[in-house]
Chain A
Amino acid sequence: MERDAVIIGGGPAGLAAAVALHGKGIRSIILLEREASLGGILRQCIHDGFGIDRFKESLTGPEYASRLIHEAEERGIEYRTSTTVLSISSERVVTAAGADGMLHIHAKAVILAVGCRERDRGAIAIPGERPAGVFTAGTAQAYINLYNRLPCHEAVILGSGDIGLIMARRLTLEGVKVHGVFEIQDHPNGLERNTIQCLDDYSIPLYLRHTITDIHGSGRVEGVTVSKVDDRLVPIKGTEREYRCDSVILSVGLVPDNALALPLGLDVDGRTRGVSVDENLMTSIPGIFSAGNCLHVHDLADDAALEAERLASSAARWINGDLLDSCAIPVIPGCGIASIVPMRISGKSDVFFTMRPSCALRNAVLRVTAGGRTVWKKRISRALPQNMLSAEVPKESLSSVSGPLEVTLS
């Protein structure tokens, strides 16, 4: 079959891209979702706090998802659930397996909105035995909220990412004893509101500069050893403490899912670990776009959805046969910036930059420079690594730029 746009992933980014493309007049759209229903990870996030930017009210994950699904269904956008994309070719043929057999869809534009995955125990090389009961926070959340299964009775949480904080509260509400949240950094990794609402309000202790140095148990987790770490994050001998528990819940970071992008040969950015895109959110292969958590990990579902809407603008132009400006000017994350999107710009359009600060700063200046000359700047009252920054830089500031663009925060 043929479609103007194939959207892979039915979470907030994929749904928002579908709705926005439709709004731009694109009618031949198909959205593919591997789960049995649309909504993505929102389905298991039954807490509220979603949608404050986009819907101007605080919604639960399933409510947020159902609003987007409703918008898509109202517009009659075609979608297939329980349909897993197996491969994408550089000629933009998407191959998927689903209930109707194999699908081959020739597309003018392919939109990757496949989300991210959680780093698990292996990725951070936690020493110790390998009993059952070591879950990523999202897996534990899925067991409780989607599958009605209790994954533990007594837990230690490693990492203070948002899902870990949310799960500290969720598990406590289900009668699980949560001994504490242990964070290797000197600051919590999740949103401030989550530290307050999920830990402080439930008297769950947060231990900064701590990590798990051993996991015990051959069948099920029987306990963990926790140690303090020094400034280089190395465990300090003699500070070990033992906790008896039957579970370790990990909230140690999210990584863009590149499972489809890598075999396709898309360029990957070493900092975001997602694919590299230009100001149109187009990847290194023409006609293949990426947005949401598979491009870079966002703090909020709203941000992923808004990014997908920006993608829809350029993808619609591409589908309609407009030539998109070639983007030859590289963007370099400089001092104070851990990662930045997009990675290439044309210098001919306004650019929406999204970036993650590398450290906490007050009264800082976000600066865009080219060849040592500042072309644009903005005052930032407070920057935190756990909060993404964004800035729209007008084309007038970029039109004189020819060489690499550097973005700094200091």
Chain B
Amino acid sequence: MERKLTRFSFDNRSICSIILSMTDKDAFDFIVIGGGVVGSAIARELARYDARIAVIEKNPDVVDETSGRNSGVIHGGFAYDTGSLKARFCVEGNRMMDSLASELSVPFRRTGKVLVGNTEEDRKSLERTMEQGAANGASGLRMIDGRELHEIVPAVLGSFALLSSSSGIIDPFLLTIHLAENAAANGVHYYLSHKVMSIRKEKDGHIVDTDKGSFRTRWVINSAGLGAKDVSEMLGFSSYRVIGSKGNYLVLDKTMGALLPLPVYPVPSNTYMGIHVTPTIDGNVTVGPDASPTMDFSYYGVPQEKIELLENSAGDLWPHIHRKNLIRTFSGILPKLVDENGAIQDFRIEIDDRIDSRAVNLIGIESPGLTSCVPIARHVVSLIAERETLRDSSSFNPCHPRPIRFSELSEEEKDDLIRKDLAWGRIVCSCEMVSEREILDAIANPLGVRTMTGIKYRTRSMMGLCQSGFCQMRIEQLLERSGLDADEVEYMYPGSWVVKGKVRA
């Protein structure tokens, strides 16, 4: 299957003249704009049917925005208004997560989580949350006293808690990547680093113009996350108000993960979970997020005062937050749909026949988007199925093979692999014990991602204590060996060059 496009060079005026999928035979049935966790889930659900599907993603990878910048928590579904799509899809998504994670070979653990309270007011609020959860169909909710709370998390600061035993933690990178790679394995074309510039309506569908050429498609599905408002306007929908909610995080080293068996949250509001501490599936701890409104959807800077705010407020929940264990900071932005008063709205997922009967518009897909990705995707498919018949594909395979992680194998398995292929015995990242074979396999990923962070998110290399100090040079060299020039190796976003050529010719 040809997935890599020939690069065209042209100026803006000629964009419209190049149609990459020119004839009707080549046209797509569905183009999904945005390859994040929801876009890739939609593409994968559509791949169950006999159709030509493409995903257009402006970033060089599928986890470069909100899908890769979050807490990695699978939510229980109790925190959302009863009757909302957020509540419904979150509960559904939570229930199916064991089977989804197993199909896609994504590390997932139903750790449960606690929402910790101290005052009578907290107790009332948590009891209301529990009732709302019951009404939403969330399972496994109960109040626990201080004794039980401290048995679960000895160090936590709090008098009682609401325990949600169905909540869990997942690898948000691999969930998104494996959804995308499974979609691709089932015939979905991924066009990465393609930014949609305009959408033209035609009699039988659309022409989607990108900065690298145009595509003809019958359906357009706008799942552009932070960019969804812009795409929505290109499709002719009236203006929605979308504001960014930016959250900053701290990452603590793995010695801390051992002290935190499950996520610890404060008492939530209906629109914000509060600054929490969360073990990651790999044994680190994330602290955050705060939430401040922003209209700059590409600025991920973490300011000094937020670092201090996170340390202080999460320190009120869990006393193990120390500078010496800090290994990194990051931030993410949630696109929140708001009404004219600024009140945060439910997910909006719509087909409006008056505007475009072959466009599905998704707006305000924020938390719990990770938990809800597949239910959202199935809802999108059901909206499409109301308008045309979808024929089952005979060849859909929902399973993604489990990538081998050297560090997780038994001694015998390690020995066998090294004897078959020496690259298993060459450890590139010795903090996370990632072998050269894993790096090479990640470089050969089916989406064609060639960034340093693409390798990082797929293998955990560069995520350990040295934060790439010892291994990034070797990974850069392996990327060069795969065919990139030194100048072409990029860290993450366009322009993020790592080295500028050779010191000596």
Instruction: Identify the A interface with B (CB < 8 A).
Output: 34, 82, 84, 86, 95, 97-102, 104, 117-118, 120-125, 127-133, 136, 138-139, 142-144, 146-153, 174, 213-216, 218-220, 235, 259, 262, 273
Contacts and interface: CB of A to CB of B under 8 A. Distances in A.
Given A84-B430, A150-B499, A125 B466 contact: no
A128 B470 CA distance: 23
Interface residues of B, number: 62
Interface in B290-317: 298-304, 306-307
A127 B301 contact: yes
A87 B27 CA distance: 55
A399 B250 CA distance: 50
Given A122-B467, A143-B473, A132 B302 contact: no
Interface stretch (B11-19, B176-184, B227-235, B327-335): B327-335
B415 A219 contact: no
Interface string B247-263: 00011000100000000
B477 interface: yes
Contact of A129 (B301, B307, B495, B502): B301
Given A127-B304, A143-B473, A219-B496, A82 B426 contact: yes
Contact of B497 (A123, A147, A220): A220
A116 to B, nearest CB: 10
B329 A125 contact: yes
Contacts of A99: 418, 422, 425-426
B494 to A, nearest CB: 6
A142 B425 CA distance: 22
A149 B425 contact: no
Given A125-B304, A149-B499, 9 more contacts: A97-B406, A99-B418, A124-B323, A125-B323, A130-B330, A148-B502, A150-B502, A219-B494, A259-B431
Contact of A148 (B251, B426, B472, B503): B503
Contacts of A133: 496-498
Given A125-B323, A128-B302, A213-B304, A152 B500 contact: yes
A132 B500 CA distance: 12
Nearest to A222: B495
A338 to B, nearest CB: 15
A236 to B, nearest CB: 13
A102 B418 CA distance: 8
**Most chain B Cβ neighbours within 10 Å, of A144, A148, A213, A235:** A148
B301 A153 contact: no
Contacts of A121: 328, 467
Contacts of A128: 301-303
Give the top 6 A-B pairs by smallest Cβ distance, nearest first. Answer: A219-B495, A132-B491, A122-B328, A84-B427, A132-B496, A149-B499
Given A101-B419, A219-B494, A219-B496, A139 B472 contact: yes
B466 A130 contact: no
A8 B323 CA distance: 29
Contact of A132 (B307, B324, B414, B492): B492
Contacts of A147: 473, 476-477
A118 B468 CA distance: 10
Nearest to A137: B469
A341 B476 CA distance: 38
A219 B495 CA distance: 5
Nearest to B477: A147
Contacts of A174: 503
A158 B280 CA distance: 31
26 contacts: A34-B430, A84-B433, A98-B425, A102-B414, A102-B415, A104-B411, A122-B328, A123-B324, A124-B323, A127-B303, A127-B307, A128-B302, A129-B301, A130-B302, A130-B330, A132-B492, A133-B497, A136-B469, A139-B473, A149-B473, A149-B501, A149-B503, A150-B503, A151-B499, A218-B495, A273-B324
Contact of A101 (B307, B415, B464, B468): B415
Contacts of A213: 304
Nearest to B500: A150
Contacts of B328: 121-122
A109 B137 CA distance: 60
B100 interface: no
Contacts of A218: 298-300, 493, 495-496
B466 A118 contact: yes
Given A120-B467, A128-B302, A220-B495, A34 B503 contact: no
